[in-house]
Structure 1
Amino acid sequence: MATFELKEALPPPSSTAGPIGWIRANLLSSPLNIVLTLLGVYLVITFLPPLLDWAIFSADFTGKTQDACVSGGACWTFIINRLPFFTYGFYPEPERWRVNIGFILLAAVIVPQFIKAFPAKQWIGLFGLTGLPILVAILLSGGIFGLESVPTDKWGGLMLTLVLSYVGIVAALPIGVVLALGRRSQMPIVRMVCTTFIELWRGVPLISVLFMASVMLPLFLPEGVSFDKLLRALIGITMFQSAYMAEVIRGGLQAIPRGQYEAASALGLGYWRSMGLVILPQALKLVIPGIVNTFISLFKDTTLVLIIGLFDILQTVNSSIVDPSWNNVAKEGYVFAAFSFWIFCFSMSRYSQALERKLHTGHKR
C-alpha cells in the first residue's frame, strides 16, 4: 500500500510576493497602469529635484532681514521671523503664555484619541467637548482670576483659526443632530421649522452669512446692545455648518433599516431612548466620512473671516507679504499657510479612517 508524506508548503513565487509582487499588482498590472506609472515617474524626476532645491538645498533659514536671503532659494527666514505673528496675531507678547497653555490643553485632548490603548480617553474627549472651550475662553479673554483682559480684536493667526474651527465643530455636531431629528419628526410644526432653518442656511454662501453677522445684525439689536465681532462670526459659522451637518446625519438616519426602529419599540423604548441607544449610534457610524468632511470644510472656511476684519492665519500671511521690508516672499508665505491647513485637515482625515476601521463602519462580513 502506497504511503504519502506531507511536505512543507512551498513559498509563493518571488514575482507575486514582497516588493516585486506589490509593484506588479499595483503599478504594472495593466497597460494603462504601466503608462500611468511611467508618467508619474517622469513627473517626479522632472519636478521634484528643482522643488527640493528651492525649498531645502538652496533655501535660507537664518537671519533677521530680507538681506539674509541671498541664495536664490526659498526665504524661510521670513517665515521664522514672522512665526509669532502667524501664531498669535496681535495678542500681547507678555500674555502669550496663556495661548501656549491653550495649545497644550488642546493637544492633551486630541493626541490621546490617536492612541488606541490610552486610558480614560473617552473622559478626556468628553472634557474636550464640554470643559475645554470654557477653560480656554477664560484663559484667552481674561478679565477674571487676575488675568489681564485681552479684547478679541487682538486675537489672530493660528490661534484664531483653531478657536473658530474648534468651537464651530463642537457646536455644529449636536445642533446638526437635533435638526436632523427634527426634520424627520412626525410633528408638522417641528418638521417645518427645522426644514426651513436647514434650507435657509444652506441656500446662502458663508460669505453672505458673515457679512450679515458683522454688518446687518447690529442694526436689529436694541440701542446700546452689541455683540463682539468674533462672537458674531462664531454664531454665523456654527449655524451655517449645523445646516450641512443636519443633512449628513439625516442621510445616516434614513440608511437605518425600519426593523431597527421596530426592534427599539418592541423593547419598550421611548423615542429619545431608542434614538440615543439604538438608532443614532448606528447612523453616526455610517456617516463618519460625511461628518469629518464637513469638519474639514469648516476648518478651511474659517479663512473667510478676513472679510470682516478678523486676522486668521491666512490673513496674517497676506498682511505680512506686503510688508515693504520683505520682497518676493509670497510663495513662502502661501506655502506655509497651505502646509498648516494640510496638517490639520490630513490629521482629521486619518483619524476618521482609523475610527471607521475601529467601528467597522462598512459592516464588512
Structure 2
Amino acid sequence: MHLSSMIPELLSALPLTLAIMFVALIAGFMLALVTTALRVRRIPGISQLADLYVSYARSVPVVLQLFVAFYGLPLITGLFGVDDFLSATTASMVGLSFYHGGYLSEVMRPAFLAVERGQHDAADSLGYGFRQKITRIIGPQAVHIALPGYGNAVIYLIHNVALVMYIGAADVMATAHLIMERDYNQYQFGTYLVLAVIYSLLCLIAWLVVRFFERRHGKYVSKTAPAKIKFGSL
C-alpha cells in the first residue's frame, strides 16, 4: 500500500482515538477533583482510600490498568446480572480515566498546598465556607500553579492512549498494525513515521492550548495580585 493511501485509513481511526482521549480527560479531571478534595480535607478512612487509589494509578503500569479494567469490571457487573456490558472501547475509557484521575490528583494536591497559608486564614476570617474559599481565593491561585503539571499530564495521557490496542480497541495504533500485517510489513518505517507525526501533532495542540491558558491566567493573577496581598495580610 502506498503511503498516500495509508494516511486516510489511519485518519479514519482518529475519531475513536480522540473520543477515548476526551472521555478520559473529562472523567479523569472530575475524578481528580473529588480525590484531591478528599485527600486535602483528611476525612478518616475515606482519605486513606483516596491515597490508596492515587498510589495504584501512579504505581501500576498503564497497560496493566487497562487489562484490569477490561477483565475485572465485567466480573463486577456480572455480580449484578449485567453481562457483556464492557466493550474494549469502554474499558479503554474507564481504565485511562482512572489512571488520569489518579495522576492528575497528584498535580492538584501540591498546587493546593502551595498556596500561602495566609490565603486560607484570610478566607476563614471572612467567614467563607470550604466551597467559597476554593472557588474565590484558593482555587484561582492553585490553578495557576497546577497548569504546567496539568499540561504534562495531558501529554502523558495522549501517549498512553496508544496502549488501548492491547485490549482490542480499534484506535490509530491498532489500525496501523492491521495495515502492516495486511501488507506483509512492507511499509513499517513509513507507517510508524505517520503515527509519530499524528501523535506529535496531538501533543503540540495540547501544549498550545495549555500554554494559552497559562499566559491568560498569568495575566489574571498579575492583575489580582494586590487583592491577594491584601488577603494574606489580614
Please state which structure has a larger fraction of its residues in helix. Answer: 2
Query: 1:296 Cα deviation (Å)?
Result: 1.0
Cα distance change, pair 170–327 in 1 and its aligned pair in 2 (3 A): closer
Residue 350 in structure 1 maps to residue 208 in structure 2: yes
Structure 1 partner of 2:10: 86
Structure 1 partner of 2:72: 216
For 2:135 and 2:191, the matched residues in 1 are separated by 46
Q: Please give the per-residue CA displacement for 1:307-344, whole angstroms capped at 9, x wherever unaligned.
A: 111121112112112223x7631111111111011111
Superposed, 1:196-215 pairs within 5 Å as 196-215=52-71
For 2:167 and 2:185, the matched residues in 1 are separated by 27
CA contact (8 A) 1:165 1:302 kept: yes
Q: Which amino acid aligns with 1:202?
A: R
For 1:290 and 1:257, the matched residues in 2 are separated by 19
Cα distance change, pair 81–290 in 1 and its aligned pair in 2 (3 A): same
SS at match of 1:225: coil
Structure 2 partner of 1:273: 132
TM superposition score normalised by structure 2 = 0.86
Root mean square deviation of aligned Cα: 2.1
Structure 1 partner of 2:230: none
Gaps (5+ residues) in structure 1?
1-65, 67-77, 89-156
For 2:220 and 2:134, the matched residues in 1 are separated by 21
Of the three residues 247, 263, 271, the one matched with 2:106 is 247
Structure 2 partner of 1:164: 20
For 1:317 and 1:284, the matched residues in 2 are separated by 38
Higher relative contact order (CA 8 A, sep 6+): 2
Query: 1:362 Cα deviation (Å)?
Result: 11
CA contact (8 A) 1:305 1:312 kept: yes
For 2:54 and 2:179, the matched residues in 1 are separated by 38
For 2:71 and 2:7, the matched residues in 1 are separated by 31
Gaps (5+ residues) in structure 2?
226-234
For 2:219 and 2:21, the matched residues in 1 are separated by 25
TM superposition score normalised by structure 1 = 0.57
Query: 1:216 Cα deviation (Å)?
Result: 2.9
Q: Percent identity?
A: 25
Query: 1:232 Cα deviation (Å)?
Result: 1.9
For 1:288 and 1:342, the matched residues in 2 are separated by 20
Query: 1:295 Cα deviation (Å)?
Result: 0.8
